[in-house]
Structure 1
Amino acid sequence: MTIGFDCHDKKYLKIAMPASVESLCMILLASADMIMVGTLGAEAIAAVSIFMQPRLVLFCFSRSAAAALTLLASRYAGRGERIEAADLLKQMLGVSCAFFMVLHLVFWYFLQDILTLMGAEPDYISLAMEYANIATAAAYISSVTYVLQAIQLGFGKTTEIMRTNLIGNGVNIAANFFLIFGIGPFPAMGVAGAALGTVIGTLSTIAMTCAEMKKEEFFAWRKECRWFPTRERWKSFMPVYLSVFSEQGCERAGMVLFTRIAAGLGTVPFAVHSICMNIADIYYDFAQGPGKASMVLAGQACGKKDVNEWHTYRNVGVKLTFIFSAISCVLTILFHDELYLLFMPDGRGIELAAVVLIIRAFVSFPEGHAITCASILRASGQTASVAAYSFISVTILRPIITWLLTYPLGFGLIGCWMALAIDQTTRGTCATVLLRRLHNRIHEEMEKKLG
């Protein structure tokens, strides 16, 4: 693996870095949100955190749709077919909005049962309901935004996506500051203020996204194009959607069980776990930038049927992801105590958090590699393979190993994170093997054509 940089690295970084900076800033803003909530106590942290996994389960549907739309749009982009991409958006937007609405209403109706199932303790369940009742509306707005931004991403418009998301999240944080603490004429709403601030922020994001897409003519729909997806559109969309959804669903199911096991350790250990997960998400979200760049560029190469370009950007993605993972590992080891104290100023659980975050530092390598390789595989039509190994690793192996290490073997919270490390290593290994097989198959096909 060479470390030199050329024009391909620059093109890759031009797409990856805005997406990474956006994700990084968004998780930092979310961390600022958690820091503000943390001043209300461990119960408030647990109340907000217990909603995160159910919310991410909801996002499985919208993010899967977004991933499928991005893959299809990237192939249109590779052929320079912007109007066809606009038709794709027109046909999928109305269906998506209606489906997400029904889904979120059902979720809201059973909200208390869902939070109880997730392991919410009696000492913070009322706070959790206070937060989640409002935050469900923000989740719906975000789901629709994912669909809109999927088309932008397919055309490599990561800078525009970054700008709108950062401004929206900035609005979110500002609203939280006023509504959580009751600054000026606003009442002190506590965790409900954090949820209402999120609604305000998501509304700002979707408004700016629509304005940006109109300017870029993504709303230039042809009159002859039907609003409801055609049979041909379903045939191209559904296989990709179902494969990605299977993968996302497997990951969420595993994470729900993972969080449920951690929640059973008690309020303070779960607060420590939630803080460490928030810190861990800083690099996880940053690594989505290289993942998105790999998916877009590999998808565009497939649209052009350019094998050499596919190989080039595969190598660039793996190389740059390794560099980013190394930086994340070193920074986490050096500053783990300082990061934790930002969320828990009184230092409760800092010794436990230190061990967890050291484990997390080394997980950066398999995690980042798995994200990039899986993105290339999806763009190359291997979504079912990614879903298969994700199901085995995240949904089956991780919960079993987590339970064994946490309770029977007595490692407690550290056992949860040891299991996470095993899961990420397994996924990284599977993605590497599948990508190598795909690489060899492409070479064999090229040799046959040349022969």
Structure 2
Amino acid sequence: MQSNKVSIREFFKYLRIAISGKEQEFTSGSIRKAVFLLSVPMILEMLMESIFAIVDIFYVSQVSVNAVATIGLTESVITLVYAVAIGLSMAATAIVARRIGEKDREGASQAAVQVIGLGIIVAAIISVFGIMFPKEILQLMGGEPDLIAEGYGYTRVLLGGNVTIMLLFLINAIFRGAGDASIAMWALVLSNGLNIILDPIFIFGFGPVPAFGVEGAAIATTIGRGTAVIFQLMVLFYGWSKIKVGFKDLVLRVAVMINLIKVSLGGIGQFLIGTSSWVFLMRIMSEFGSEVLAGYTIAIRVMMFTLMPAWGMSNAAATLVGQNLGANQPNRAEASVWKTGKYSAFFMGF
């Protein structure tokens, strides 16, 4: 009985450490402890994302069926942005983790700046299309005329402001690679907390703020994510994490950027294939009308809860592999993969 009490005490002790963001060394010591400390903040990130997704769709569903369907069609297109962001973030985590493992924090800072610069360039290109052609995008996805008329503002705002999505992904990937998973968690807590507060204000109106309908959901999301990005940049520039970005780092380093692109191509291709299938599936669903599309959108958001453990474990594995390879410990890196794989399989099976 005593041993159980000790283990429970230790569990809550490590939980506090994981959330507090206390600096840890992940190239030595217990792999199980390292997986726990890294994965808990990441799982909590996904929990916040999932809660916001449900709350967001709850408010939007009170506007109209077309409003919910608009979110589904727009998000299927946004997943292409996610594919690029996740691919780049995988490269960012890998490169930053490698530099941290090598004890080269300056190299990690340089890589971080190139990641952010590349993300801004890609996001700017997507923004142009989102601002200029929101109606055409919804039409291409099979949206009905009344859906397009009601929802194109949502598409325009969300795609036009996709730089906030891109940078939120990429800078959090930088923090994870450095082992600062709790900072990434708090950035998403800030983002989603603001979203939940602002959603009803911009959707239904409050005081001097007019009711924007479904477009208000996109405005709230963009403001929430934008605020979180400002917080992330403050952390980087003030050195509140393992990585500190100074003005001397704000230069284009072609070799670093080319290496980043090379490392990210596999991840981008992998996620583009997966998200393309979702885009086509949403296009097929649109043939059955807005009601079916709205139901499918809600189901997808609810399903996100089941993916939380796997997402946390996979990001923990990426950080551990990168840092241990950087520290010239390939055996520990491999052991980290096997251990996180076993934990992930257990939770998904459970």
Taking structure 1 as the reference length, what is the TM-score of the superposition? 0.67
**1:305 is the counterpart of 2:314:** no
Q: Where does residue 218 of structure 1 map in the other structure? A: 243
Kept after mapping to 2: 8 A contact 1:19/1:292? yes
Q: Tell me which of 251, 273, 276 is aligned to 1:227.
A: 251
Kept after mapping to 2: 8 A contact 1:24/1:286? no
Percentage of matched positions with identical amino acids: 22
How far residue 253 of structure 1 moved from its aligned partner, in angstroms, is 1.4
For 1:218, give the aligned amino acid.
Answer: I
Kept after mapping to 1: 8 A contact 2:175/2:181? yes
Measured in 1, the distance between the counterparts of 2:51 and 2:192 equals: 10
Measured in 2, the distance between the counterparts of 1:67 and 1:313 equals: 17
How far residue 285 of structure 1 moved from its aligned partner, in angstroms, is 4.4
Q: Tell me which of 22, 26, 37 is aligned to 1:14.
A: 37
Kept after mapping to 1: 8 A contact 2:56/2:196? yes
Q: Where does residue 144 of structure 1 map in the other structure? A: 167
How far residue 284 of structure 1 moved from its aligned partner, in angstroms, is 2.5
How far residue 108 of structure 1 moved from its aligned partner, in angstroms, is 2.7
Kept after mapping to 2: 8 A contact 1:87/1:222? no
How far residue 301 of structure 1 moved from its aligned partner, in angstroms, is 2.3
Aligned CA distance change for structure 1 residues 197 and 206 (closer, same or farther; 3 Å): same
Unmatched runs of 5 consecutive residues or more in structure 1: 328-451
Unmatched runs of 5 consecutive residues or more in structure 2: 1-6, 12-28
Measured in 1, the distance between the counterparts of 2:345 and 2:117 equals: 40
Q: Where does residue 81 of structure 1 map in the other structure? A: 104
Q: Where does residue 30 of structure 1 map in the other structure? A: 53
Measured in 1, the distance between the counterparts of 2:183 and 2:118 equals: 25
For 2:182, give the aligned amino acid.
Answer: T
Q: Where does residue 315 of structure 2 map in the other structure? A: 292
For 1:313, give the aligned amino acid.
Answer: S
How far residue 310 of structure 1 moved from its aligned partner, in angstroms, is 2.3
Q: Where does residue 91 of structure 1 map in the other structure? A: 114
For 1:145, give the aligned amino acid.
Answer: L
- Considering Cα pairs closer than 8 Å and 6+ residues apart, tell me whether 1 or 2 has the greater RCO: 2
How far residue 55 of structure 1 moved from its aligned partner, in angstroms, is 1.1
For 2:254, give the aligned amino acid.
Answer: T
C-alpha distance after superposition, 1:395-446 (max 9, x if no partner): xxxxxxxxxxxxxxxxxxxxxxxxxxxxxxxxxxxxxxxxxxxxxxxxxxxx
Measured in 2, the distance between the counterparts of 1:187 and 1:266 equals: 29
Measured in 1, the distance between the counterparts of 2:96 and 2:246 equals: 15
**Hey, which bits of structure 1, 4+ residues long, moved more than 4 A?**
none
Kept after mapping to 2: 8 A contact 1:71/1:295? yes
Q: SS in structure 1 opposite 2:144?
A: coil
Kept after mapping to 2: 8 A contact 1:62/1:100? no
Measured in 2, the distance between the counterparts of 1:217 and 1:298 equals: 18
How far residue 152 of structure 1 moved from its aligned partner, in angstroms, is 1.0
Q: Where does residue 303 of structure 2 map in the other structure? A: 280
C-alpha distance after superposition, 1:201-220 (max 9, x if no partner): 01211111112223226344
Measured in 2, the distance between the counterparts of 1:218 and 1:157 equals: 9
For 1:309, give the aligned amino acid.
Answer: R
5 Å matches for 1:324-335?
324-327=347-350
Measured in 1, the distance between the counterparts of 2:216 and 2:115 equals: 33
For 1:216, give the aligned amino acid.
Answer: S
Kept after mapping to 1: 8 A contact 2:48/2:188? no
**1:56 is the counterpart of 2:76:** no
Q: Which structure has the greater CA radius of gyration?
A: 1
Provide the aligned C-alpha RMSD in A.
2.2
5 Å matches for 1:243-392?
243-327=266-350
5 Å matches for 1:73-222?
73-213=96-236, 214=238, 215-216=240-241, 218-221=243-246
Aligned length: 322
Q: SS in structure 2 opposite 1:210?
A: helix
